[in-house]
Amino acid sequence: MSYRIPGKRDLLLVGSSAFALLSCMADEPAPERVAPSRAPIVNGQPDPGHPAVVALTYQGQSFCSGTLVTPTIVVSAAHCIHPDIGVPGTSAQVYFGPDVTQGGTFIDVIEAKYKLDFYLDDPEIDDDISVLRLAEPAPVAPLPMGDTPPAGTQLTLVGFGITSSGGSGGGVKRIATATIDQIWGEVFAMNLTPSGTCNGDSGGTAIWDDNGVEKFVGIHTRSDCTDVMLDERVDIHWDEFVQPFIDQGGGCIHDGACATGCAAPDPDCPCAADGYCTIACVDVATDPDCDPECVEGGACVEGCPIPDPDCSKCVTDGICDLSCASDPDCNTTTTTTTGGMVEEEEEPADEDEPSDTEAEEDDGDGCSVGAPAGRGMNVGLSAMAVAIALGRRRRRR
């Protein structure tokens, strides 16, 4: 399918409800059509889910949408905060919830930046991306970024835009589906079949279900609310624009950026060389602050944040393992044989209890002859020797 690519000023999706300045140009002539007109999110349904999809608001009214990508960073469209037509980023609040008029959470924006390569009349119609930093961590989990899937892939579209080209229904989160038709450069195109984006959805979210994991792949930027819509690819801009912005403002909180000089390990990088070895780092082998012997290797090291697997044999199991210094089975009554085998010495018998050789009855006089264990045989032989010697002396007389 081929169609005319909408121009920047024709079809920007900024909502008109915030101020007249943000007019979505709904009164301008529609661009050339090649696909049949369909009912216009347009033709979507209210969406109580997708908490990471947010509304950009000014004085309580939504004018754009966005996507939470770390606890404190939102990605949106550049034209939403561009000085020529948008709201200054630091004048906005980010709304978390399904309907801006029905409660939810509003968080101030303390820093905002749009890609400087973006300008309104750019014939390449790309680089339409911005990032905003929140004053505090969001109350919901971020949405992970994903690579752009191939043409023909169905996507889920979410945004707070109007529901028709007439300009009503904004401020409510809605969901729709569409299929990628073409991909070129930094953008991909979709047809509004049977639904799609409209004004106020700018900066909103195209989601790809990657084997059961929802991933953020597109930023809503342009639409005619009837046939054609364009999204900016997220993967193209992540490493050179989004991630550096995340890293610049990293604090000692879970914000997607690794900070230094924290009083405790930064939750974004608990295995970094920060002077701490704690249970927060699940792989102690990767933490330069942890004893390298805390991993399985034959020697038991005490005091590791996660118990050394070599210490699992240091338990009361009746076997003394001399490689384990704290094995409770190893005590003073234990010796090692020349063959390396470990055996326990026999403890002396209780003197109050008869041994196996004691309490032997004689031939009927009621007396018994016994000897301490281990000496009975020697005593018997001695008595026999005495008797023989006496007999010899009698015969000599």
For 41-82, the pLDDT digits (tens) are: 555 688 889 999 999 999 999 999 999 999 999 999 999 999
Residue 159 clears pLDDT 50, i.e. is over it? yes
Characterise 325 by phi-psi region: left (phi > 0), alpha (psi -120 to 50), beta (else).
alpha
Residue 227 clears pLDDT 70, i.e. is over it? yes
- Where in the chain do CATH 2.40.10.10 domains reside? 8-235
Highest mean pLDDT: which range of 9-13, 171-175, 349-353, 356-360: 171-175
What is residue 154's predicted lDDT score, i.e. its pLDDT? 94
Q: Quick one: pLDDT band at residue 248, thresholds 50, 70, 90?
A: confident
Residue 23 clears pLDDT 80, i.e. is over it? no
Distance of CA 191 to the CA centre of its chain: 34
Average pLDDT, integer, range 74-95: 93
Q: Which two tokens stand for residue 154?
A: 């169905």
Q: Which two tokens stand for residue 129?
A: 């991306």
How far, in Å, CA of 52 to CA of 134, rounded?
13
What is residue 306's predicted lDDT score, i.e. its pLDDT? 81
The dihedrals phi and psi of 9, each to the nearest 5 degrees, come to -75, -20
What is residue 386's predicted lDDT score, i.e. its pLDDT? 41
Q: Quick one: pLDDT band at residue 87, thresholds 50, 70, 90?
A: confident
CATH superfamily of 8-235: Trypsin-like serine proteases (2.40.10.10)
Write the pLDDT tens digit of every residue in 310-347: 776 666 666 777 766 667 777 755 444 444 444 444 45
**Which of these, 178, 179, 193, 181, lies nearest to 2 by C-alpha position?**
181
Q: Quick one: pLDDT band at residue 133, thresholds 50, 70, 90?
A: very high
Write the pLDDT tens digit of every residue in 94-131: 999 999 998 899 999 999 999 998 877 777 788 999 99
Q: Which two tokens stand for residue 57?
A: 């608001």
H/E stretch holding 241: none
Q: Which two tokens stand for residue 197?
A: 């984006």
Q: Quick one: pLDDT band at residue 144, thresholds 50, 70, 90?
A: very high
Q: Quick one: pLDDT band at residue 370, thresholds 50, 70, 90?
A: very low
How far, in Å, CA of 148 to CA of 303, rounded?
46
How far, in Å, CA of 325 to CA of 68, rounded?
51
How far, in Å, CA of 211 to CA of 221, rounded?
26
What is residue 312's predicted lDDT score, i.e. its pLDDT? 67
The dihedrals phi and psi of 54, each to the nearest 5 degrees, come to -125, 170
